[in-house]
Amino acid sequence: MSEFFPNIGKIPYEGKNSTNPLSFKYYNPDEVVNGKTMREQLKFALSWWHTMGGDGTDMFGCGTTDKTWGKTSPEERAIAKCDAAFEIMDKLSIDYYCFHDRDLSPEYGSLAESNAKFDVVTDYLKEKQAATGKKLLWGTAKCFDHPRYMHGAGTSPSADVYCYAVAQIKKAVEATVKLGGNGYVFWGGREGYETLLNTNMSLELDNMARLMHMIVDYARSIGFKGDFYIEPKPKEPTKHQYDFDTATVIGFLRKYGLDKDFKMNIEANHATLAMHTFQHELRVARDNGVFGSIDANQGDTLLGWDTDQFPTNVYDCALCMYEVLKAGGFTNGGLNFDAKARRGSFTPEDIFHSYIAGMDSFALGLKIADKMISDGRIDSFVADRYSSWTTGIGADIIAGKADIAAIEKYALEKGEVVDSLSSGRQEMLEAILNNIMFSL
Ligand code: XUL
Ligand code: CO
Protein backbone atom coordinates (compact mmCIF):
# COMPACT_ATOMS: atom_id res chain seq x y z
CA MET A 1 0.00 0.00 0.00
CA SER A 2 1.43 3.39 -0.93
CA GLU A 3 1.90 5.96 1.81
CA PHE A 4 -0.12 9.14 2.02
CA PHE A 5 2.62 10.95 3.94
CA PRO A 6 5.85 9.61 2.43
CA ASN A 7 7.90 12.52 3.75
CA ILE A 8 6.94 11.93 7.35
CA GLY A 9 8.28 9.02 9.37
CA LYS A 10 7.19 7.75 12.75
CA ILE A 11 7.25 10.71 15.14
CA PRO A 12 9.89 9.97 17.78
CA TYR A 13 10.07 11.17 21.35
CA GLU A 14 13.21 13.29 21.51
CA GLY A 15 12.74 15.14 24.79
CA LYS A 16 12.36 18.79 25.69
CA ASN A 17 15.69 19.95 24.28
CA SER A 18 15.03 18.71 20.76
CA THR A 19 14.48 21.36 18.08
CA ASN A 20 13.07 18.89 15.57
CA PRO A 21 9.49 20.07 15.01
CA LEU A 22 8.45 16.58 13.93
CA SER A 23 9.27 15.03 17.28
CA PHE A 24 7.55 14.80 20.65
CA LYS A 25 9.17 16.91 23.35
CA TYR A 26 7.01 15.64 26.22
CA TYR A 27 4.84 12.76 24.98
CA ASN A 28 6.85 9.66 25.69
CA PRO A 29 4.27 6.87 25.22
CA ASP A 30 6.01 4.33 27.46
CA GLU A 31 7.00 6.65 30.30
CA VAL A 32 5.15 5.85 33.51
CA VAL A 33 3.33 8.76 35.17
CA ASN A 34 1.04 8.24 38.17
CA GLY A 35 1.19 4.48 37.93
CA LYS A 36 0.46 4.01 34.23
CA THR A 37 2.22 4.68 30.93
CA MET A 38 1.44 7.96 29.23
CA ARG A 39 -0.34 6.14 26.41
CA GLU A 40 -2.60 4.42 28.98
CA GLN A 41 -3.22 7.62 30.95
CA LEU A 42 -3.92 9.83 27.95
CA LYS A 43 -5.70 7.41 25.57
CA PHE A 44 -5.40 9.79 22.61
CA ALA A 45 -7.91 9.44 19.79
CA LEU A 46 -8.03 10.81 16.26
CA SER A 47 -11.26 12.49 15.16
CA TRP A 48 -12.35 11.25 11.76
CA TRP A 49 -14.35 14.38 10.93
CA HIS A 50 -11.78 17.12 11.31
CA THR A 51 -8.67 15.13 10.47
CA MET A 52 -9.89 13.01 7.59
CA GLY A 53 -12.67 15.22 6.24
CA GLY A 54 -12.17 18.83 7.31
CA ASP A 55 -10.76 20.75 4.39
CA GLY A 56 -10.83 24.27 5.84
CA THR A 57 -14.21 25.27 4.38
CA ASP A 58 -15.78 28.07 6.41
CA MET A 59 -18.68 30.50 6.09
CA PHE A 60 -16.56 32.79 3.94
CA GLY A 61 -14.75 30.47 1.62
CA CYS A 62 -14.05 27.07 0.19
CA GLY A 63 -11.55 24.53 1.45
CA THR A 64 -7.84 25.24 1.48
CA THR A 65 -6.57 21.71 1.91
CA ASP A 66 -7.14 18.60 -0.15
CA LYS A 67 -8.89 15.86 1.82
CA THR A 68 -9.93 13.75 -1.18
CA TRP A 69 -7.14 11.26 -0.46
CA GLY A 70 -6.51 10.87 -4.19
CA LYS A 71 -9.92 9.38 -4.98
CA THR A 72 -12.97 10.69 -6.77
CA SER A 73 -15.66 8.10 -6.06
CA PRO A 74 -17.16 8.29 -2.56
CA GLU A 75 -16.73 4.53 -2.03
CA GLU A 76 -13.03 4.58 -2.90
CA ARG A 77 -12.46 7.75 -0.93
CA ALA A 78 -14.01 6.20 2.18
CA ILE A 79 -11.54 3.30 1.98
CA ALA A 80 -8.59 5.60 1.26
CA LYS A 81 -9.55 7.66 4.32
CA CYS A 82 -9.23 4.51 6.44
CA ASP A 83 -5.75 3.81 5.10
CA ALA A 84 -4.64 7.42 5.58
CA ALA A 85 -6.11 7.58 9.11
CA PHE A 86 -4.34 4.41 10.18
CA GLU A 87 -1.08 5.76 8.75
CA ILE A 88 -1.52 8.97 10.78
CA MET A 89 -2.35 7.03 13.94
CA ASP A 90 0.65 4.76 13.47
CA LYS A 91 3.08 7.61 12.82
CA LEU A 92 1.80 9.58 15.82
CA SER A 93 1.48 6.61 18.22
CA ILE A 94 -2.26 7.27 18.61
CA ASP A 95 -4.14 4.13 19.67
CA TYR A 96 -7.78 5.16 19.19
CA TYR A 97 -10.13 6.89 16.78
CA CYS A 98 -13.70 8.25 16.83
CA PHE A 99 -16.23 8.60 14.06
CA HIS A 100 -19.57 9.95 12.95
CA ASP A 101 -21.19 7.40 10.64
CA ARG A 102 -21.23 9.84 7.71
CA ASP A 103 -17.54 10.70 8.10
CA LEU A 104 -16.73 7.08 7.46
CA SER A 105 -19.14 6.71 4.58
CA PRO A 106 -21.39 9.43 3.15
CA GLU A 107 -25.13 9.33 2.52
CA TYR A 108 -26.27 7.64 -0.67
CA GLY A 109 -29.72 7.55 -2.33
CA SER A 110 -31.59 5.74 0.45
CA LEU A 111 -31.06 4.73 4.05
CA ALA A 112 -30.77 1.08 2.95
CA GLU A 113 -28.05 1.94 0.43
CA SER A 114 -26.22 4.18 2.93
CA ASN A 115 -26.32 1.32 5.45
CA ALA A 116 -24.98 -1.25 2.97
CA LYS A 117 -22.08 0.98 1.94
CA PHE A 118 -21.37 1.90 5.55
CA ASP A 119 -21.04 -1.84 6.27
CA VAL A 120 -18.32 -2.18 3.64
CA VAL A 121 -16.27 0.54 5.34
CA THR A 122 -16.78 -0.78 8.87
CA ASP A 123 -15.81 -4.29 7.68
CA TYR A 124 -12.62 -2.78 6.33
CA LEU A 125 -11.98 -0.93 9.59
CA LYS A 126 -12.45 -4.13 11.52
CA GLU A 127 -9.71 -5.78 9.43
CA LYS A 128 -7.43 -2.79 9.90
CA GLN A 129 -7.99 -2.80 13.66
CA ALA A 130 -7.15 -6.52 13.80
CA ALA A 131 -3.97 -5.94 11.77
CA THR A 132 -2.70 -2.96 13.78
CA GLY A 133 -4.17 -3.18 17.30
CA LYS A 134 -5.76 0.27 16.93
CA LYS A 135 -9.14 0.65 18.63
CA LEU A 136 -12.38 2.54 18.39
CA LEU A 137 -12.89 4.91 21.34
CA TRP A 138 -16.46 5.84 20.45
CA GLY A 139 -18.88 6.10 17.59
CA THR A 140 -21.72 8.48 16.88
CA ALA A 141 -24.29 9.32 14.22
CA LYS A 142 -24.26 12.53 12.23
CA CYS A 143 -27.84 13.56 12.82
CA PHE A 144 -27.34 17.22 12.10
CA ASP A 145 -25.89 17.96 8.67
CA HIS A 146 -28.54 16.68 6.26
CA PRO A 147 -31.44 19.08 5.50
CA ARG A 148 -33.91 16.57 6.98
CA TYR A 149 -32.48 17.47 10.39
CA MET A 150 -32.97 21.23 10.01
CA HIS A 151 -35.47 21.25 12.90
CA GLY A 152 -33.67 18.61 14.97
CA ALA A 153 -33.42 14.82 14.92
CA GLY A 154 -34.56 13.31 18.24
CA THR A 155 -36.32 16.61 18.94
CA SER A 156 -37.75 17.18 15.50
CA PRO A 157 -41.41 18.24 15.31
CA SER A 158 -41.76 15.64 12.56
CA ALA A 159 -42.30 12.02 13.60
CA ASP A 160 -40.95 10.89 10.22
CA VAL A 161 -37.64 12.65 10.81
CA TYR A 162 -37.55 11.15 14.31
CA CYS A 163 -37.94 7.65 12.89
CA TYR A 164 -35.17 8.26 10.37
CA ALA A 165 -32.90 9.40 13.21
CA VAL A 166 -33.71 6.35 15.35
CA ALA A 167 -32.92 4.07 12.42
CA GLN A 168 -29.69 5.92 11.65
CA ILE A 169 -28.53 5.82 15.28
CA LYS A 170 -29.42 2.12 15.56
CA LYS A 171 -27.09 1.44 12.66
CA ALA A 172 -24.30 3.59 14.12
CA VAL A 173 -24.61 1.70 17.43
CA GLU A 174 -24.37 -1.61 15.57
CA ALA A 175 -21.17 -0.39 13.89
CA THR A 176 -19.76 0.74 17.24
CA VAL A 177 -20.43 -2.68 18.74
CA LYS A 178 -19.00 -4.45 15.70
CA LEU A 179 -15.79 -2.42 16.01
CA GLY A 180 -15.49 -3.06 19.74
CA GLY A 181 -16.06 0.57 20.77
CA ASN A 182 -16.63 1.14 24.47
CA GLY A 183 -18.41 4.45 24.03
CA TYR A 184 -21.31 5.91 22.08
CA VAL A 185 -21.74 9.69 21.94
CA PHE A 186 -24.82 11.82 21.61
CA TRP A 187 -23.95 15.37 20.69
CA GLY A 188 -27.26 17.09 20.12
CA GLY A 189 -26.27 18.88 16.93
CA ARG A 190 -29.63 20.44 16.11
CA GLU A 191 -31.37 19.40 19.32
CA GLY A 192 -32.37 22.82 20.54
CA TYR A 193 -34.49 25.73 19.38
CA GLU A 194 -34.48 29.27 18.08
CA THR A 195 -37.81 30.55 19.42
CA LEU A 196 -40.55 29.29 21.73
CA LEU A 197 -43.07 30.84 19.34
CA ASN A 198 -42.83 27.64 17.30
CA THR A 199 -41.52 25.11 19.82
CA ASN A 200 -43.10 22.55 22.14
CA MET A 201 -40.10 22.18 24.39
CA SER A 202 -41.50 19.57 26.75
CA LEU A 203 -42.58 17.24 23.93
CA GLU A 204 -39.18 17.64 22.25
CA LEU A 205 -37.31 16.70 25.42
CA ASP A 206 -39.66 13.79 26.22
CA ASN A 207 -39.09 12.48 22.71
CA MET A 208 -35.32 12.81 23.01
CA ALA A 209 -35.44 10.78 26.21
CA ARG A 210 -37.65 8.16 24.53
CA LEU A 211 -35.09 7.87 21.75
CA MET A 212 -32.24 7.48 24.22
CA HIS A 213 -34.06 4.77 26.18
CA MET A 214 -34.78 2.90 22.95
CA ILE A 215 -31.15 3.09 21.86
CA VAL A 216 -29.80 2.07 25.28
CA ASP A 217 -32.10 -0.96 25.43
CA TYR A 218 -31.22 -1.98 21.90
CA ALA A 219 -27.47 -1.49 22.40
CA ARG A 220 -27.50 -3.56 25.58
CA SER A 221 -29.48 -6.27 23.77
CA ILE A 222 -26.72 -6.60 21.15
CA GLY A 223 -23.94 -6.74 23.75
CA PHE A 224 -22.81 -3.12 24.20
CA LYS A 225 -21.23 -2.92 27.64
CA GLY A 226 -19.62 0.50 27.33
CA ASP A 227 -20.80 3.96 28.27
CA PHE A 228 -23.19 6.28 26.53
CA TYR A 229 -22.09 9.88 26.59
CA ILE A 230 -23.84 13.18 26.17
CA GLU A 231 -21.59 15.96 24.97
CA PRO A 232 -22.85 19.26 26.40
CA LYS A 233 -22.74 22.44 24.32
CA PRO A 234 -24.63 25.65 25.10
CA LYS A 235 -25.09 27.19 21.65
CA GLU A 236 -24.30 26.50 18.02
CA PRO A 237 -25.90 25.54 15.81
CA THR A 238 -29.09 26.58 17.60
CA LYS A 239 -29.44 29.50 19.98
CA HIS A 240 -30.64 27.31 22.85
CA GLN A 241 -29.00 23.89 22.75
CA TYR A 242 -30.82 21.55 25.12
CA ASP A 243 -27.56 20.12 26.48
CA PHE A 244 -26.27 23.49 27.68
CA ASP A 245 -23.66 22.24 30.15
CA THR A 246 -22.92 19.28 32.42
CA ALA A 247 -25.26 20.40 35.20
CA THR A 248 -28.15 20.84 32.74
CA VAL A 249 -27.52 17.42 31.23
CA ILE A 250 -27.42 15.77 34.66
CA GLY A 251 -30.86 17.26 35.37
CA PHE A 252 -32.15 15.80 32.10
CA LEU A 253 -30.65 12.36 32.73
CA ARG A 254 -32.09 12.16 36.24
CA LYS A 255 -35.51 13.37 35.20
CA TYR A 256 -35.77 10.65 32.59
CA GLY A 257 -34.03 7.82 34.48
CA LEU A 258 -31.09 7.71 32.09
CA ASP A 259 -28.38 8.45 34.65
CA LYS A 260 -27.26 4.83 35.07
CA ASP A 261 -26.24 4.45 31.44
CA PHE A 262 -24.94 7.89 30.54
CA LYS A 263 -21.79 9.81 31.35
CA MET A 264 -20.36 13.01 29.91
CA ASN A 265 -18.11 13.65 26.97
CA ILE A 266 -16.75 17.04 28.01
CA GLU A 267 -15.40 19.29 25.28
CA ALA A 268 -13.06 22.10 26.31
CA ASN A 269 -14.33 24.61 23.77
CA HIS A 270 -17.95 23.87 24.66
CA ALA A 271 -17.13 24.70 28.29
CA THR A 272 -15.72 28.03 27.14
CA LEU A 273 -18.90 28.75 25.16
CA ALA A 274 -20.96 27.99 28.30
CA MET A 275 -18.86 30.59 30.15
CA HIS A 276 -17.35 27.87 32.31
CA THR A 277 -13.79 26.75 32.67
CA PHE A 278 -12.93 23.34 31.25
CA GLN A 279 -12.03 22.29 34.80
CA HIS A 280 -15.47 23.35 36.10
CA GLU A 281 -17.24 21.07 33.65
CA LEU A 282 -14.94 18.19 34.53
CA ARG A 283 -15.41 18.79 38.26
CA VAL A 284 -19.21 18.82 37.98
CA ALA A 285 -19.01 15.54 36.08
CA ARG A 286 -16.58 13.98 38.55
CA ASP A 287 -18.55 15.06 41.61
CA ASN A 288 -21.70 13.56 40.13
CA GLY A 289 -20.12 10.27 39.06
CA VAL A 290 -20.58 10.96 35.36
CA PHE A 291 -17.06 11.73 34.24
CA GLY A 292 -16.56 9.79 31.02
CA SER A 293 -14.57 11.04 28.09
CA ILE A 294 -13.05 14.25 26.75
CA ASP A 295 -13.03 16.12 23.45
CA ALA A 296 -9.71 17.88 23.81
CA ASN A 297 -9.48 21.15 22.00
CA GLN A 298 -9.46 24.80 22.92
CA GLY A 299 -11.53 27.76 21.98
CA ASP A 300 -10.55 31.35 21.61
CA THR A 301 -11.74 33.43 24.52
CA LEU A 302 -11.96 36.47 22.22
CA LEU A 303 -14.38 34.70 19.90
CA GLY A 304 -17.87 33.49 20.77
CA TRP A 305 -17.95 30.47 18.49
CA ASP A 306 -16.65 26.96 18.22
CA THR A 307 -13.11 27.18 16.88
CA ASP A 308 -12.03 23.60 17.72
CA GLN A 309 -8.35 24.45 17.92
CA PHE A 310 -5.70 21.96 18.88
CA PRO A 311 -4.97 22.49 22.59
CA THR A 312 -1.77 24.36 23.40
CA ASN A 313 -2.80 26.01 26.66
CA VAL A 314 -0.79 23.92 29.11
CA TYR A 315 -2.42 25.52 32.14
CA ASP A 316 -5.84 24.20 31.03
CA CYS A 317 -4.42 20.81 30.10
CA ALA A 318 -2.85 20.52 33.57
CA LEU A 319 -6.09 21.38 35.38
CA CYS A 320 -7.95 18.96 33.10
CA MET A 321 -5.54 16.12 33.84
CA TYR A 322 -5.72 16.94 37.54
CA GLU A 323 -9.48 16.23 37.34
CA VAL A 324 -8.89 13.09 35.30
CA LEU A 325 -6.37 11.70 37.80
CA LYS A 326 -8.62 12.60 40.73
CA ALA A 327 -11.47 10.79 38.97
CA GLY A 328 -9.28 7.68 38.92
CA GLY A 329 -8.25 8.02 35.26
CA PHE A 330 -10.12 7.03 32.14
CA THR A 331 -12.03 3.76 32.07
CA ASN A 332 -14.01 3.52 28.83
CA GLY A 333 -13.22 7.09 27.81
CA GLY A 334 -10.16 8.86 26.48
CA LEU A 335 -8.84 12.11 25.02
CA ASN A 336 -10.23 12.68 21.56
CA PHE A 337 -8.85 15.56 19.52
CA ASP A 338 -12.07 17.13 18.27
CA ALA A 339 -9.72 19.68 16.79
CA LYS A 340 -8.67 21.03 13.43
CA ALA A 341 -5.66 22.80 12.05
CA ARG A 342 -6.47 26.41 11.25
CA ARG A 343 -7.60 27.19 7.71
CA GLY A 344 -4.26 28.73 6.88
CA SER A 345 -2.38 25.64 8.10
CA PHE A 346 -3.22 23.68 5.00
CA THR A 347 -0.32 21.35 4.21
CA PRO A 348 -0.22 17.61 5.04
CA GLU A 349 2.57 18.25 7.59
CA ASP A 350 0.22 20.57 9.48
CA ILE A 351 -1.82 17.53 10.53
CA PHE A 352 1.27 16.20 12.27
CA HIS A 353 2.37 19.54 13.73
CA SER A 354 -1.13 20.02 15.13
CA TYR A 355 -1.33 16.63 16.80
CA ILE A 356 2.21 16.95 18.15
CA ALA A 357 1.29 20.32 19.69
CA GLY A 358 -1.88 18.89 21.25
CA MET A 359 -0.33 15.66 22.47
CA ASP A 360 2.72 17.38 23.94
CA SER A 361 0.46 19.88 25.74
CA PHE A 362 -1.52 17.08 27.32
CA ALA A 363 1.62 15.12 28.17
CA LEU A 364 2.88 18.21 29.99
CA GLY A 365 -0.54 18.60 31.57
CA LEU A 366 -0.40 15.02 32.85
CA LYS A 367 3.05 15.49 34.35
CA ILE A 368 2.05 18.76 36.01
CA ALA A 369 -1.17 17.25 37.36
CA ASP A 370 0.78 14.34 38.81
CA LYS A 371 3.15 16.81 40.43
CA MET A 372 0.28 18.91 41.79
CA ILE A 373 -0.97 15.81 43.55
CA SER A 374 2.39 14.57 44.85
CA ASP A 375 3.40 18.11 45.86
CA GLY A 376 0.23 18.26 47.95
CA ARG A 377 0.30 21.98 48.77
CA ILE A 378 -2.90 22.79 46.90
CA ASP A 379 -4.82 19.73 48.12
CA SER A 380 -3.82 20.28 51.71
CA PHE A 381 -4.75 23.96 51.53
CA VAL A 382 -8.25 22.97 50.38
CA ALA A 383 -8.54 20.30 53.08
CA ASP A 384 -7.49 22.84 55.73
CA ARG A 385 -9.93 25.40 54.43
CA TYR A 386 -12.81 23.06 55.19
CA SER A 387 -11.44 21.80 58.51
CA SER A 388 -14.35 23.32 60.45
CA TRP A 389 -16.46 20.53 58.94
CA THR A 390 -14.36 17.76 60.44
CA THR A 391 -14.87 18.56 64.13
CA GLY A 392 -17.45 20.25 66.38
CA ILE A 393 -20.63 21.66 64.95
CA GLY A 394 -19.52 21.12 61.32
CA ALA A 395 -18.97 17.41 61.90
CA ASP A 396 -22.31 17.21 63.76
CA ILE A 397 -24.15 18.80 60.80
CA ILE A 398 -22.59 16.37 58.36
CA ALA A 399 -23.40 13.43 60.62
CA GLY A 400 -27.01 14.62 60.84
CA LYS A 401 -26.64 15.11 64.61
CA ALA A 402 -27.34 18.84 64.72
CA ASP A 403 -30.91 19.95 64.08
CA ILE A 404 -32.03 23.48 63.27
CA ALA A 405 -32.54 24.36 66.96
CA ALA A 406 -29.04 23.15 67.86
CA ILE A 407 -27.55 25.16 64.99
CA GLU A 408 -29.43 28.29 66.09
CA LYS A 409 -28.26 27.82 69.68
CA TYR A 410 -24.68 27.43 68.46
CA ALA A 411 -24.90 30.62 66.34
CA LEU A 412 -26.44 32.63 69.17
CA GLU A 413 -23.74 31.58 71.59
CA LYS A 414 -20.91 32.01 69.10
CA GLY A 415 -21.77 35.60 68.15
CA GLU A 416 -20.03 37.37 65.23
CA VAL A 417 -17.80 35.07 63.15
CA VAL A 418 -15.76 37.47 60.98
CA ASP A 419 -12.70 37.17 63.18
CA SER A 420 -12.44 33.43 62.67
CA LEU A 421 -12.46 33.60 58.85
CA SER A 422 -9.23 32.90 57.02
CA SER A 423 -7.95 34.15 53.67
CA GLY A 424 -8.81 32.32 50.44
CA ARG A 425 -5.16 32.90 49.38
CA GLN A 426 -6.01 32.70 45.69
CA GLU A 427 -2.89 34.56 44.55
CA MET A 428 -0.66 32.37 46.70
CA LEU A 429 -2.24 29.24 45.22
CA GLU A 430 -1.85 30.56 41.67
CA ALA A 431 1.81 31.19 42.42
CA ILE A 432 2.18 27.65 43.80
CA LEU A 433 0.66 26.29 40.61
CA ASN A 434 3.13 28.31 38.54
CA ASN A 435 5.94 27.07 40.72
CA ILE A 436 4.87 23.47 40.14
CA MET A 437 4.40 24.03 36.40
CA PHE A 438 7.67 25.74 35.73
CA SER A 439 9.93 23.65 37.87
CA LEU A 440 9.15 20.43 36.00
C1 XUL B 1 -19.59 19.70 17.64
C2 XUL B 1 -18.85 18.58 18.22
C3 XUL B 1 -19.08 17.24 17.61
C4 XUL B 1 -19.13 16.12 18.58
C5 XUL B 1 -19.48 14.79 18.00
O6 XUL B 1 -19.39 20.90 18.30
O7 XUL B 1 -18.07 18.75 19.13
O8 XUL B 1 -18.12 17.02 16.64
O9 XUL B 1 -17.89 15.98 19.24
O10 XUL B 1 -20.68 14.80 17.34
CO1 CO C 1 -16.91 17.48 20.28
> How high is the pLDDT of residue 89?
98
Residue 236 Cα: closest atom of ligand 1:
6
Check if 240 is active-site. no
Average pLDDT over residues 273-286: 98
**Whole-structure pTM value:** 0.97
Provide mean pLDDT across the span 378-395.
98
Burial state string for 37-69 with b = 16 or more CB within 10 A and e = fewer than 16: ebbbbbbbbbbbbbbbbbebeeeeeeebbebeb
Band of the pLDDT at 288, cuts 50, 70, 90? very high
Q: How far apart are CA 388 and CA 400, in angstroms?
A: 15
How does pLDDT run across 5-32, given as a tens digit for each residue?
999 999 999 999 999 999 999 999 999 9
The tens digit of pLDDT for each residue in 70-126 reads 999 999 999 999 999 999 999 999 999 999 999 999 999 999 999 999 999 999 999
Task: Quickly state the pLDDT bin for 2 (edges 50, 70, 90).
Answer: confident
140 lines ligand 1 (CB under 6 A): yes
100 in active site: yes
Kindly identify the ligand whose nearest atom is closest to the C-alpha of 53.
Answer: 1
> How many residues would you count in the chain?
440
338 lines ligand 1 (CB under 6 A): yes
Q: Which of 95, 101, 103, 308 is catalytic?
A: 103
Tens digit of each residue's pLDDT (9 = 90 or more) over 144-199: 999 999 999 999 999 999 999 999 999 999 999 999 999 999 999 999 999 999 99
Spatial neighbors of 5 by CB under 8 A, at least 6 apart, are 84, 87, 88, 91, 348, 351, 352
Secondary element (H or E) of residue 192: strand 192-193
Q: What 3-state DSSP class applies to 328?
A: coil
Flag whether pLDDT at 420 surpasses 90.
Answer: no
- Name the segment(s) of the chain with CATH classification 3.20.20.150: 32-377
- Give helix 111-132 / helix 74-92 axis angle, nearest 10°: 30
CA 72/CA 284 separation, integer angstroms: 46
Ligand 1 binding pocket includes 204 (Cβ within 6 Å): no
Which pLDDT score is estimated for 133? 98
Fold of 32-377: TIM Barrel (3.20.20)
**What is the average pLDDT value for the chain, to the nearest integer?**
98
